[in-house]
């Protein structure tokens, strides 16, 4: 993943300044990534209130939870305890990765949000070949989203072995893993829409395409 989710420069500097001391691995802390736009910039499709809570509370909780779980993991040599921490690391680490990708997935209308790529774009060609059109792709993703029971995500991904596009669902905060490369992910957790769309989540699924950043998706597709 191109996006760095760890800020390690302080740890690196500390290690460089103690070259003669025994090597000690200093793990960087996960931190919230910067947002490229204001909380209200995705309105009316996603309210500023949702964005602020989603970013400053929910995403921050995943960051904190991941850091706490890793700290515990590093502080024990008991294998059973380490195994028991795996689900926490998966949940909070996955939540951190998923949301970091999600913010980049979105863009205000004024910055190209919702703007489809031209017919010559490699991603457009792949979408047309596999799904027939952007509209049909969005309809298929929305049907998958609506079918999620409980919390989870639907992702448009590229299979890195075949190069094919696929649509996959992930439960809870399970991240997209190899061989799939995440291109566009839609958060189907209630915290992503409930304040604005209440129980009508299908309206949120329809609306969010107005602010999807297809240029970012193509960047990931070509990476
Ligand atoms: Fe979320």
What is the domain-level CATH number for residue 133? 3.55.40.20
Under 8 Å between Cβ of 109 and 207: no
Angle between helices 60-75 and 79-105 (to 10 degrees): 150
pLDDT at position 204 is 98
Q: Is 187 annotated as a binding residue?
A: yes
Q: For 134-181, write each residue's pLDDT tens digit.
A: 999 999 999 999 999 999 999 999 999 999 999 999 999 999 999 999
Report pLDDT digits (tens) over 23-60.
344 468 999 999 999 999 999 999 999 999 999 999 99
Is 12 a member of any domain?
Answer: no
54 is in an annotated binding site: yes
Confidence of residue 6 (pLDDT cuts 50, 70, 90): low
Q: Is residue 92 part of a domain?
A: no
| Beta bridge pairs of residue 30 | 6
- At 28 the pLDDT is 82
pLDDT digits (tens, 9 = 90+) for 72-97: 999 999 999 999 999 999 999 999 99
Reported as a single tens digit per residue, the pLDDT across 114-128 is 999 999 999 999 999
Supply the range of the domain harboring residue 163.
111-222
Rounded to the nearest angstrom, the distance between the alpha carbon of 208 and the centre of ligand 1 is 13
C-alpha 99 to ligand 1 mean position (Å): 6
Report if residue 140 sits inside a domain. Answer: yes
34 is in an annotated binding site: no
- How many angstroms does the Cα of residue 21 sit away from the middle of ligand 1? 42
Residue 46 domain-assigned?
no
Number of domains the chain is built from: 1
pLDDT digits 0-9 by tens, 179-205: 999 999 999 999 999 999 999 999 999
Q: Residues 70-99, buried b or exposed e (16+ Cβ, 10 A)?
A: beebeeeeeeeeeeebeebbbbbbbbbbbb
Q: State in Å: Cα 196 to ligand 1 middle.
A: 14
Tell me, yes or no, whether 171 lies in a domain: yes
**Cα first-last separation, the chain:** 9
Structural domain contains residue 181: yes
CA distance 75 to 132: 52
Within-domain flag for 94: no
Q: Is residue 64 part of a domain?
A: no
């Amino acid at each position: 993943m191109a996006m760095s989710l760890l800020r390690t420069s302080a740890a690196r500097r500390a290690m460089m300044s103690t070259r003669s001391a025994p090597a000690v691995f200093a793990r960087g802390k996960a931190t919230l990534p910067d947002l490229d736009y204001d909380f209200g910039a995705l309105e009316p499709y996603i309210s500023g209130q949702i964005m602020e809570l989603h970013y400053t509370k929910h995403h921050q909780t995943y960051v904190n939870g991941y850091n706490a779980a890793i700290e515990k993991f590093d502080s024990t040599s008991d294998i059973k305890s380490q195994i028991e921490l795996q689900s926490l690391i998966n949940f909070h680490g996955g939540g951190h990765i998923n949301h970091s990708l999600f913010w980049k997935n979105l863009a205000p209308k004024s910055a190209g949000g919702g703007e489809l790529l031209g017919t010559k774009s490699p991603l457009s060609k792949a979408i047309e070949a596999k799904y027939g059109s952007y509209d049909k792709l969005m309809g298929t993703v929305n049907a998958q989203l609506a079918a999620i029971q409980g919390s989870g995500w639907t992702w448009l991904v590229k299979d890195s072995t075949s190069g094919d596009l696929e649509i996959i669902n992930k439960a809870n905060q399970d991240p997209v893993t190899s061989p799939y490369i995440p291109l566009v992910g839609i958060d189907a957790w209630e915290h992503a829409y409930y304040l604005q769309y209440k129980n009508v989540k299908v309206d949120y699924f329809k609306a969010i395409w107005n602010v999807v950043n297809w240029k970012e998706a193509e960047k990931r597709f070509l990476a």
